Chain A
């Protein structure tokens, strides 16, 4: 594999700026890598090779004359096929939208182009982001297994070094689940921090946009380029934008890290629990103060997540579900149909309980600065698996296994960063998530960076 591909986004960016590596070289390396691996991985809906090469040449020319746009200039990245790119179909990995082509870039594509990034192509999502397995795509660490979802294509391409960053969306964990299962970093920012204009919606009240990257520094760089107020997005926050890289190396001395005593370690694979508890110990070694915390109303979290997600998703799909129901995959179609039959009062009850959950979490953060917990309860399942059977005999559907630990940050809108923290005995990645206060991405990034610097998980690559 080309040495260029082994670099982080930040390292590549520095080399591009210094003239040591050209955007054209980096883009060609990615395109070759994708060509070599995508038969096995199925990460991409479409690779825009000609457009990417043209953008790389333009970036090279601009940088040569001193017109450097910033750390994403000339960096090859990918984008989940929920995000609009002008002139390129946004299929949402569905037959329903196979021929739907937006005429304009959405906010993210526009920002990435303005930053000079090279857009390599569009990655597979679970159909309309409504699932956790991304069946088109396989895990680079074991191609017999799922990459997670719904941003599975993005997780697979970043993990296999096909792109230096790939955009995902996260409604119930869909950035962090593939990040954890594919061994990448994944950032779900605060709800409303990154514009969702031009992103196909799953649930307006829960959708977040964010990057999957190889390192925490890379995530900070990408967030800087993407975050900001967008009046066209009703959920967008009009809040000042900090410098997310400024305090990255400040360490965790004195940081109060919440160790959950409930919910996050219930029905979790022993190796996942062990890896995350070792991460707690490492953070303590680095100077963090560990504080036990108990989540409020844990039995309500999944009910609120799905009580909002199902009706909103069905509302979005009302017309398409009637026009071309046969074009949906069965697993998505059945929940779109079910979502139409949920009483409005149940949906509103979920929104009211959400309010109480938000208040409960706010009290929690009186005693901690960040909560560190497993991102998901299990490592990557075999493709086609529908459930997990736990040692106590309980059988749990796969959706629940992967969503229940990521749902708290969706329901509360708090920023959550998934960081690799180990591997199972089968060589499968494990991740922890750092959940911070609203708009405090800087602290979760600082914690992630400190942990990353003290370990080597993010430097490991699959042998694909």
Chain B
């Protein structure tokens, strides 16, 4: 399902969620940038990852 561009109200909600103060002028630039990166990441969902774990696994050994 293709993404629809984020609306300003959605950007306001997202900014509130992450506690960032983003002016209307900055939201005008942020919207297309965020649309672009989210669309780029959609291809990740096409991969059947099965039981594959993420690469950043915690190493409990004490070092240093």
Chain B 3-19 interface mask (CB, 8 Å, partner A; 1/0): 00000000000110111
B59 to A: closest C-beta gap in Å: 8
Residues of A within 8 A of B1 (CB): none
Instruction: List, sorted by A's number, 30 A–B pairs whose CB atoms are closer than 8 Å.
Output: A205-B56, A232-B63, A232-B64, A234-B63, A300-B43, A302-B40, A303-B43, A306-B37, A335-B37, A337-B15, A337-B20, A337-B22, A338-B33, A338-B37, A339-B37, A340-B20, A341-B34, A342-B38, A342-B41, A346-B38, A348-B54, A349-B44, A349-B49, A351-B54, A351-B55, A352-B49, A352-B53, A352-B55, A353-B44, A353-B49
**A322 vs B15: C-alpha distance when bound (angstroms):** 12
Chain A 333-365 interface mask (CB, 8 Å, partner B; 1/0): 111011111100010111111111010000000
Residues of B within 8 A of A297 (CB): 47
A67 to B: closest C-beta gap in Å: 30
Q: Which bracket fits the contact residues of A?
A: 35 or more
The answer to whether the Cβ of A304 comes within 8 Å of any Cβ in the partner chain is yes
Chain A positions within 8 Å of B, measured between CB atoms, are: 205, 231-232, 234, 297, 299-300, 302-304, 306-307, 310, 321-322, 325, 330, 333-335, 337-342, 346, 348-356, 358
Count of residues in B whose CB is under 8 Å from the partner chain: 31
Cross-chain contact A352 with B52 (CB below 8 angstroms): yes
> Given that A306-B37, A330-B29 are contacting pairs, would A356 and B49 also be in contact in the complex, using a CB cutoff of 8 Å?
yes
A11 to B: closest C-beta gap in Å: 38
Residues of A within 8 A of B55 (CB): 205, 351-352, 354-355, 358
Residues of A within 8 A of B46 (CB): 299
Q: Which of A234, A321, A338, A348 contacts B34 (CB 8 A)?
A: A338
Q: Which of A205, A338, A346, A356 contacts B52 (CB 8 A)?
A: A356
Residues of A within 8 A of B17 (CB): 341
**A353 vs B22: C-alpha distance when bound (angstroms):** 32
Chain B 22-54 interface mask (CB, 8 Å, partner A; 1/0): 100010011001100110110111110100111
Taking each of B17, B26, B33, B37, which has the highest tally of chain A beta carbons within 10 Å of its own beta carbon?
B37
**A351 vs B41: C-alpha distance when bound (angstroms):** 12
